[in-house]
Each structure stands twice: as C-alpha cells, then as structure tokens.
Amino acid sequence: MNGPWLAGVDEAGRGPLAGPVTAAAVILDPARPILGLDDSKRLTPLRRAALEVEILTSARAWAVAWADVAEIDALNILNAALLAMRRAVAALGVSPHEVLVDGNRCPDFGCPARAIVRGDSLVPAISAASILAKEARDRELVRLDGLYPGYGLAGHKGYPTAAHIAALRRLGPSPIHRRSFGPVRDLLGPAARAGDGFPTDRS
C-alpha cells in the first residue's frame, strides 16, 4: 500500500496477575467508516466482538502483538507494554506516517508518534486497536485456562479478583503468573520480593 497512513495503537492487560500484555495497531480506511468504535472497556462483549469482525475486514492494515510473562518480569509491565506496541506497529507491514497511542507514553516507532490521554475514547483508530487488543487477549486467557485450570482465568482474565487471589493461595503461582507483581511475588517468599510493584489499573 502507498500513501500516508495513520495508525492507532493501544494495549490490553497491564493490570492482570497472569498472562501476556497485548497490543494492537490499526490503520482505518476512511472510505469504510466503522460506526460505534469506542474504548473497549465501555463496550459490551457482544458489541466488542461484532466490532472486531468489522475492523478485521474493513481496516487498511492491522496487527496484534504480545510481550510474554518472562518479558514482563524482566522489563517491568510498562516497558513490556511499550515493547508489545512496537511489535504491533512493526507487524503492520506498512510504515505509518504517524502513530497515535492511547495514554501518556510513546515508544520509539521510528516515525512521528503522539500519546493521547483517553485516546481510546477519542480517536477511532485507537478505539479499534483497543478492541483488537482486548479481544485477542481475552481469547488467549481462555486458552490458558485450559492449560492451567483451577485459577478461573477464562472468567477474570488474570485480574486480581478475590477468587483469583484465593486460587493463587490454594494452588500457588502457575508458569504464566507474573512473578514481579506483588500478590504473586508474596506467595513465592522473600527471595522473589526484589522486583517492581504491580499496577492497579484494569486496562
């Protein structure tokens, strides 16, 4: 594809205690507008799933990328999220002329980029990226629930709910739990308590 392309980027999964952090990048087609785009957290699951199909079929380009649990623990969650964003933009297969990112931090994409607070509610391309990232991560946590049963991952998607904390105390951390996050680290004993703290947002 040729021409100037504006990419929206967002991530999902900064707050959970388990699973990867996911990012998506989307270049929308102005000739094929998608009605109802919004922050994925403000959409019902049914509406979000329907919009995902529209985005995948109507966007000029899209990509989803990940940073895994080992990278989260090694880099901290912020840097892992920025890494996933860079991977998503690189996977687009085209070079955007500008990248708009939800939030207040931008990684180095090798092209002009701006961070927009509440961008997932204000910028359609970021909203689309928010939806793709959320849907992809939710599916991955359902898959991981089959590999690591007992934690309820398919329901809470790794977030620190009371049921999840209770399962962690009962079963201990699984290989896909983030050992640098406080509630997991505390279960591993003093030797594991040298990492960073953990975020409380549910993005």
Q: Sketch the domain layout of the chain as residue ranges.
A: 6-139, 147-192
pLDDT number for residue 71: 98
Span 15-19, average pLDDT: 98
- For Cα atoms 137, 141, 147, give the angle at the middle one, nearest 5 degrees: 145
With bands split at pLDDT 50, 70 and 90, how would you rate the model's confidence at 190?
low
With bands split at pLDDT 50, 70 and 90, how would you rate the model's confidence at 20?
very high
pLDDT number for residue 196: 39
pLDDT number for residue 194: 43
pLDDT number for residue 4: 72
**Is the Cβ–Cβ distance between 29 and 43 less than 8 Å?**
no
pLDDT number for residue 193: 45
pLDDT at 168 over 90: yes
**Is the Cβ–Cβ distance between 98 and 114 less than 8 Å?**
yes
Average of per-residue pLDDT values in the chain: 92
pLDDT number for residue 3: 52
pLDDT at 173 over 50: yes
Which residue, 27, 53, 48, is CA-closest to 123?
27
Q: What is the pLDDT of residues 27-67, one digit of tens each?
A: 999 999 999 999 999 999 999 999 999 999 999 999 999 99
Under CATH, domain 6-139 is a member of which superfamily? Ribonuclease H-like superfamily/Ribonuclease H (3.30.420.10)
Distances (CA, A) of 6 to 19, 21, 92, 95: 29, 23, 12, 9
Higher-confidence residue of 135 and 192: namely 135
Strands 6-12 vs 98-102: parallel, antiparallel or unpaired: parallel
